[in-house]
């Protein structure tokens, strides 16, 4: 089976740093994605990791450890507009490389 876990909710203060963790146990792994989703809208791509290590893109960074089945998304200099759901998704190797999503983490940024 496929199991992707992330915290349900997190809160943080504007200007601060927040780390959203994701652990996965899947039958086959071919990369991990992070998406941002505002309510009622389509997910927006944030990052993609296929090799171990840190990928940095502006205020967002994502880390992957394949041996530990672990990833995190780091958001720096938080802004109010960062309040959204953050979805961890694993691309399952084989077949059609389908993308399986975790339940998502709802982040609330307050002043």
Taking the complex as a whole, how short is the minimal distance between the CB of residue 33 and another protein, in angstroms?
Answer: 7
* Residue closer to another protein (CB basis): 14 or 41: 41
Give every CB contact of residue 40 below 8 A, 6+ residues apart in sequence: none
Binding site for another protein (CB under 8 A): 31, 33, 40-43, 45, 48, 85, 87, 95-104, 106
Separation between Cα atoms, residue 100 and residue 71, nearest integer Å: 15
71, exposed or middle or buried, with CB in 10 Å at 0-12, 13-18, 19+? buried
Taking the complex as a whole, how short is the minimal distance between the CB of residue 44 and another protein, in angstroms?
Answer: 8
* Residue closer to another protein (CB basis): 76 or 98: 98
* Residue closer to another protein (CB basis): 37 or 76: 37
Locate 60 and state its tokens.
């967002």
């Amino acid at each position: 089976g496929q199991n992707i876990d992330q915290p349900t909710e997190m809160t943080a203060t504007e200007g601060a740093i927040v780390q959203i963790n994701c652990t996965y146990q899947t039958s086959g792994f071919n990369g991990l994605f992070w998406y941002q989703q505002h309510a009622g809208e389509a997910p927006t791509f944030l990052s993609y990791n296929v090799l171990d290590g840190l990928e940095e893109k502006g205020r967002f960074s994502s880390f992957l450890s394949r041996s530990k089945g672990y990833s995190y998304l780091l958001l720096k200099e938080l802004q109010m507009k960062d309040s959204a759901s953050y979805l961890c998704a694993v691309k399952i190797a084989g077949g059609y490389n389908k993308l399986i999503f975790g339940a998502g983490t709802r982040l609330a940024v307050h002043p």
